[in-house]
Structure 1
Amino acid sequence: MNINDDLSNRLEQCYSGAVYDVLRAMGYPNQTLPNNIRPLDIDKKMAGPIYTVSGKYDAGYDPHETLLNWTGLLSKAPKGSVVICQPNDETLAHMGELSSETLQLRGVRGYIVDGGCRDSAFIKNIGFNVFCKYYTPVDVVGRWKAFGYGEPIKIGEVEIRTGDYVMADRDGVVIIPQEILEEVITKTEEVLKTESLVRKAIMEGVDPQEAYLKYGKF
């Protein structure tokens, strides 16, 4: 997959609301993941190219095989990517302490899962970006395996492909199709500049409606 750290860093300087506004204006209004997927640390945000993973729950899995599978997932995650996982399960933790530390050491920018997390205090303390739906101490051993590395997944109503980009912060998670990435980033940066002009005008006493009509943004 193509990793462009410059685009990731530029996108990370934006915020999800502005990215969403640009996508909506471009005809992509349904690119946000379900609003119950939340960050462990609401003060952090992340952006980058997506590496997709999916998985399956089965109580009959061999514990050793599930750990081999899990460590294989950690090995496959590309440096500079954000891993997004559709676990097809709502009972287990699909991220934990040692796994987060491993991904962080390997240069992965973050992990987003339509599922659970454990060891959340430790993960927050080391500063690794994780977004999840819930917390539980129950791990994947003997119960869950990953598959479909790099293949398309769906979370909520959003189709997600490896190579698409994500921008995530305390307000939510926005998926950007790779074909329009640079246009979205450029337009979002323009939005941020315009918002600054609107804010400055209002702080200087300009009527808010007048400011909106002048700059076309509010």
Structure 2
Amino acid sequence: MATLAERLEKCYTGAVFDVLRGRGITDTVLPKDVRPIDPSKTLAGPVFTVKGSPKPGIDGHESLLRWTEFLSQAPEGHVVMSTGQDDERALMGELSAETLQYRGVRGYVTDGGCRDCDFIINIGFPVFARFFTPRDIVGAWTPDSFEEPLDFMGVRINPGDYLIADIDGAVVIPGAIAEDVISEVEKIMETESLVRKAILEGVSPKDAYLQYGKF
């Protein structure tokens, strides 16, 4: 049986947003400048949160030690969401992406930057970031805490929430209603397929909408 993450990965952000909007939840879309390094990838899964911050002048060894501690803790089957309070540095790169992928992490989302993008695209690890830069964290930045609520650019993220991200953007589903929302999205997608089929068979868009109540 497919996991929730696998089911969600077959959905798309527009349908997820529509379902959440129907429940009166509209504040779970990440800002539009969080973009995929590979637009062909859809990322979905339960969230593992990371908070970090700049540490000007920190010893390079110490910064890497703390970074590798994070890599060792990121759990299989999850999406890592990282806030960095940093507009200068890449908070994901080649070796880290390959390590997370090997450990079974589904992907990575950050309000910071990414580097080594060509390599990461080639290995197929989904990363969503705000910008690209060769500047890394060594001697300048560390993760501080894990599995705590995040303020991700104005969107509250709780450990155990679910995220779906694709070419259109990223949406967070509160963990307590994730299964219900995903089931509703799946039903909507089935209905949309019926609407599409009807229109392609000659039914007017208006009549198709009236028949199925969805467009």
Alignment partners' CA distance in 1, 2:2 and 2:78: 9
Please tell me whether residue 162 in structure 1 is matched to residue 159 in structure 2: yes
In the superposition, the TM-score normalised over structure 2's length comes to: 0.98
Q: 3-state DSSP class of the match of 2:49?
A: strand
Q: Which residue, out of 8, 15, 35, partners 1:11?
A: 8
Say which SS state the counterpart of residue 104 (structure 2) adopts.
coil
Moved more, 155-164 or 180-189: 155-164
Task: Return the offset for 1:46.
Answer: 1.3
Q: Distance in 2 between matches of 1:23 and 1:166?
A: 13
Instruction: Note the 1:172-211 alignment, pairs <5 A.
Output: 172-211=169-208
How many residues align? The count is: 215
Distance (whole Å) between structure 2 residues aligned to residue 94 and residue 157 of structure 1: 19
Question: 73, 78, 88: which is aligned to 2:70?
Answer: 73
CA-to-aligned-CA distance 1:27-68 (integer Å, 9 cap, x gap): 111211011111111111011000000111121211110000
User: Identity over aligned residues, as a percent?
Assistant: 54
What is the aligned partner in structure 2 of residue 149 from structure 1? Answer: 146
1:98 match: 95
Q: Provide structure 2 residue ranges, at least 5 long, that are not aligned to the other structure.
A: none
| Equivalent residue number for residue 58 of structure 1 | 55
- Could you list the runs of 5+ residues in structure 1 that have no partner in the other structure? none
Matched residues in 2 for 1:141 and 1:127: separation?
25
TM-superposed deviation, 1:156: 2.4
TM normalised by structure 1 equals 0.97
Match of 1:107 among 104, 108, 124: 104
